[in-house]
Amino acid sequence: MPRLLTLSRAARLIGVRRGALQSKIRSGELPAFEGMVAAEDLLRAYPEVRLEDNAALERIEAIKDAAFAWRMRERLLPSSEVLVARLTEMSRERAQVQVRFEHFQAIVYELQVKLREPGDPAAAALALAAELLAWLSHRLEPVAQGEEPQPLLVQESFLRIMTAHVQIKPSGREFFVDGNDSLLEAALRAGFSLDYGCSIGSCGKCKARVLSGQVHKTRHSDYALTAAEKNAGVVLMCCNTAVGDLVLEAREAHSAADMPLQNIEARVKSVSPIADDIRLLHLQTPRTNRLRFLAGQSVSLALPGGPSASYPVASCPCDERNLQFHIRPRAGDAFAERVWSGLKDADTVRIEGPRGEFVLAEESNRPLIFIACETGFAPIKSLLEHAMALDAAETLHLYWIASGRSGHYLDNLCRSWSDALDNFRYTPLTADAALPDEAAIEGALQQLLEDYPRLPGYDVYVAGPGRLANAAEFLLQEHGLPRAQLFVSTLEA
């Protein structure tokens, strides 16, 4: 039976996106067996892959050549204790394989002897035995000659030493643990919305149950698990890492309803201009009280004894401690006035949230289209970064509609995504008239309708000031996009 690899591991081995493999499976170019692929089929689908250029090997070269080698080693390589644990586990597995192989050899030898035993069988049976013996000898010849193992599987063994593969039940989603990351850190970086609190082993909210595999404790925890929890295999994800392949049972947030309302005192990290009329507000939460939210959601920001306002989070949930907001002056928005006129580093801002249903439909496997109208780019940016972290969508296409060139205030960021990611496209659209204007929106979206004449095959996310978002919503449905595949966030102008 061929050696099967999960899509996540296969994608990492040959340096492609998981969505690219899914696309080849759907087109019939790559056979799949219950969501897994064979190494031989993988190399046939990607004959141009050079295994010596594997990303894992490149990381080791980076460590050797880096000027700050110690810091790189701390970030990219597992600790010595984890490396020893992984090598021990792999040695145990290899010993088991060796025992099975020797048992298999003994059975084959006995079969060969029996097939050669003299007797007086019927001619047909004798011919069949001779044919079976010839086939068996042919199949065993590579083993007898010490055939070199499949290079891809050699790389896969190396990858298992450097990184650990983790699957979360019941969702079945997967991620990798790199370097000295804890299970929680690696899961958040991969875009997972897990239940957690302090992230330092004090609250116990990040409990998970080990279904298979082994973990290694990386930090002390003040939270005491009960004897029953320990016997059931419960661990704290913030205090443990994976030794090898691991299956965990853990709670995930799949919808906005799964997110608790939180009140957090954050500090202003910086206020910086990103356009003539937009400021980037960077807030940082305490290490022990980070904001759990889903990409696309909004929060209320309030100054002590002062004004408050609601804004979408413009950053990815994978960095839940550092929160970004795009603040534009609005009539009657006293909070925005303070951001522009007097908010300083280290000032306190109270965060309440998250709120909103404008979140990624992670269960869908359709390609994604994003439409940002003016500062509607803020929640769209959060969704895009989350989708990139998940690496699940086959393609991502961003259309950003603004009334002038300066309206695309993070144009360079979008272009850098387009240059770096082969599944991401960016199309800046300039409205012919000043926004908000429904006719201008319709004119700008003609490009999208030309690019995608068959909209029912996509999920579309639209965010912007009310009139603009509503105009885009109406136009897309008029051209055949099912309402269930359209997600709209209307912002205050």
Residue ranges per domain, the chain?
256-355, 368-491
Amino acid at 187: A
256-355 has CATH 2.40.30.10 classification: yes
Peptide bond into 170 cis (omega under 30): yes
Which of the two residues, 15 and 222, has the higher pLDDT score? Answer: 222
Quick one: pLDDT band at residue 70, thresholds 50, 70, 90? Answer: very low
pLDDT at 488 over 90: yes
Percentage of residues of the chain with pLDDT beyond 90: 44
Question: In what side-by-side order are the strands of the sheet with 424-430?
Answer: 424-430, 396-402, 368-373, 459-465, 486-491
Fold of the domain spanning 368-491: Rossmann fold (3.40.50)
With tokens 């309302």, the residue in question is 261
Task: Decide: residue 270, CB within 10 A, 0-12 exposed, 13-18 middle, 19+ buried.
Answer: middle
242-279 tens-digit pLDDT: 988 899 999 888 789 889 999 999 999 999 999 988 99
Those residues whose C-beta lies under 8 Å from the C-beta of residue 376, and which sit 6 or more positions away, are 462, 463, 464, 465, 468, 469, 489, 491
Quick one: pLDDT band at residue 297, thresholds 50, 70, 90? Answer: very high
pLDDT value at residue 106 = 65
**Quick one: which H or E segment has residue 13?**
helix 7-14
396-433 tens-digit pLDDT: 999 999 876 668 999 999 999 999 888 899 999 987 65
Report the number of secondary-structure helices (H) and strands (E) in the chain.
Answer: 16, 20
pLDDT at 315 over 50: yes
Quick one: pLDDT band at residue 97, thresholds 50, 70, 90? Answer: low
pLDDT value at residue 436 = 53
pLDDT value at residue 10 = 85
CA distance 225 to 107: 48
Antiparallel, parallel or unpaired: β 348-355 and 298-302? antiparallel
Percentage of residues of the chain with pLDDT beyond 70: 79
Those residues whose C-beta lies under 8 Å from the C-beta of residue 107, and which sit 6 or more positions away, are none
